Every structure is written in structure tokens, then in C-alpha cells.
Structure 1
Amino acid sequence: MQNIMFFIRDNLILSVIWFFLLILIVSLTIQNILSKFTIINYHQAKNLIEKENAIIIDTRVIELFNKSHVANSIHMSLQNILSGHIKELKLSKIYPIILIISELHQCNECTKQLHTHGFNRIYVIEDGIQSWDVKDLNLSVEEK
């Protein structure tokens, strides 16, 4: 114990940095445990769609949705979800929900709202629509 105190005294800046990193790791771990959603990649999303009939909700602006979107996805703006309008879609709560969300900073609020309405299996695609675009998966594209 005495050696630790000597180390901290002699290396104060390093000790403070290690302390903050420890706090950051612990807080992120707790946040991850308490979060109401799981971040998945496109392989996992594809499996959920094929095997469990997952419902895809695209929250991007309507113009981007109309340009290209995952086949059979439903468009609902982030504001509508945050306002509680998700019940208007009358979705079955037994199927998993996959969110395509462009504003990740509002992801927690969006999934919290879905959870409030009884959806317990909520997933967010890791790179949004870009992962579908890059991997050439089934996208519906607006005809010109």
C-alpha cells in the first residue's frame, strides 16, 4: 500500500489519467448494461429479418428514405417516435424491431420511447443504411 502511495505522489498526472480512464470504462460498462437496445451489424440484422421476421423502422428524413431504403422497411420520423406516435403503426410486439437511425445521439431516447410502448427486443444497425449500401443488400431505390 505504501508503494502505491509513493507511485501516486511521484506520478500524479499519470495516476489522474488512469483514474479517469477507470471511471470512464466503468460508466460505459454500466450504461451498456442498462441500455434498452443492442447495436448489431448487417449480418445480424439480416438474420433477424430472415429468421424472426424483424420489423425495420427507418428514421431518416423522408427524402433519404424515398431515395433508397431497406426493402419492406417502414418510415417513421424520429420526432414521431419521440412524440409517442409509434402506437399509430400498430406493430406486433412479438417481433424484434430494427432501427435505422441517422442521429445516434437520440438513439437512447428513441429506444426508451419504443420500450415504453412495449417493445422489448430493439436493435440498432451499427452503420445505419451505409452498411446495407456497401454490402449491396436488398435496397429499394427510387425510380427516376
Structure 2
Amino acid sequence: MNEAEFMPMAIEFAKNHTLMVTAWVAVFVMVIYTFVKSATSKVKVVTNPEMTALINKEDAVIVDLRSVDEFKRGHVIGSVQLTPSDIKKKNIGQIEQHKSSPVVVVDANGLGAANIGEELFKQGFSRVYALKEGIAGWRSANLPLVK
């Protein structure tokens, strides 16, 4: 099949399957957007073992973004509880002195931690990380939480 035969067939396919073609284009655009965003992000996403190493070897500060109630039900030992709105309002007194230390941002499922980590980076924190899969991933790996 040469190009002269392919293009009319492709156009006909697109006309007959508009929704599917649109969905594939949307998925493709989102994949590219996600890739570019992660490549340009100042926040590195870390796994459970990487976070454990940061805690044990470099005294990383863990910032738990969940609500006070969720935090009380179980959190990583030594975590500091701050809400995303606290961070956006620069109400970060508990961690202000740790701007040169590694800071790992943890949320419920890992979906919003990197965005809040970017906010900390803008506020002068030089080494910001986000926990992949958040507390849900930590819990599913049977890693310890304290109450």
C-alpha cells in the first residue's frame, strides 16, 4: 500500500470513528504533557525504598499533606502534618529551618504531592521529593505507620 492509497483510507476511517480517533489524540496529548511536566519538574518522585533511604541516610523531613484526622489514623514516623493550603499560604513554620535538607511530600495516593512539592521548591526548598503512590502505597507495602 502506498501513500496515495493510505490517506483516503485513513480519512475515511477517521470520519467513521470520530470518537475513537478523538480519544486516541487526547490520550496522546496527555501522555506528552505528563512526560514534559515530569521532565521539567523540580520535584523528583521517589519510591518507598528511596524514601526510606532518604530518611535513614540524610534525615529527610516528611511532610504529610493529608487532613489532621487522616494523619492521626496513621502516618510515617516523624512526619510533619501540613495541609496544601498551609503551604500555599507559606504557613510552614514547622519545616522552615529544613530548606537545605531533603523534604519528601506525602499525600494519600501520590497524585497531588508533586504539585505541592513544586510550591515548596518555589519557597526555597532545594531538595524536594514526592512519594510515589503516597500513604496508600506505603501501607500496601506493609511499611510502618504510627498513630
Q: Which TM-score tier does this pair reach, normalised by the shorter chain?
A: 0.7 to 0.9
Aligned to 2:136: 130
1:65 partnered with 2:88: no
In the alignment, the residues of structure 1 paired with residue 145 and residue 109 of structure 2 have an alpha-carbon distance, to the nearest angstrom, of 20
Q: CA RMSD in A?
A: 2.5
Task: Describe how 1:1-144 pairs up with structure 2 within 5 A.
Answer: 1-12=3-14, 13=17, 16-87=22-93, 89-102=95-108, 106-107=112-113, 109-141=115-147
* Identical positions, percent: 21
In the alignment, the residues of structure 2 paired with residue 99 and residue 132 of structure 1 have an alpha-carbon distance, to the nearest angstrom, of 13
In the alignment, the residues of structure 1 paired with residue 27 and residue 143 of structure 2 have an alpha-carbon distance, to the nearest angstrom, of 39
Deviation of 1:120 after TM superposition, in Å, equals: 2.9
Aligned residues: 141
TM-score (norm 1): 0.78
Deviation of 1:133 after TM superposition, in Å, equals: 2.7
Alpha-carbon distance change, 77 to 94 in structure 1, aligned in 2, over 3 angstroms:
same
Could you tell me whether the CA contact under 8 Å between 2:44 and 2:130 is conserved in 1? Answer: yes
1:36-67 Cα offsets, whole Å, 9 max, x none, are 32222211111111122211011211122223
Unaligned stretches of 5+ residues in structure 2: none
Alpha-carbon distance change, 104 to 48 in structure 1, aligned in 2, over 3 angstroms:
closer
Could you tell me whether the CA contact under 8 Å between 1:86 and 1:114 is conserved in 2? Answer: no
Deviation of 1:90 after TM superposition, in Å, equals: 2.2
In the alignment, the residues of structure 2 paired with residue 105 and residue 132 of structure 1 have an alpha-carbon distance, to the nearest angstrom, of 14
Specify which structure has the bigger relative contact order, considering alpha-carbon pairs within 8 angstroms and separated by 6 or more residues: 1
TM-score (norm 2): 0.77
Unaligned stretches of 5+ residues in structure 1: none
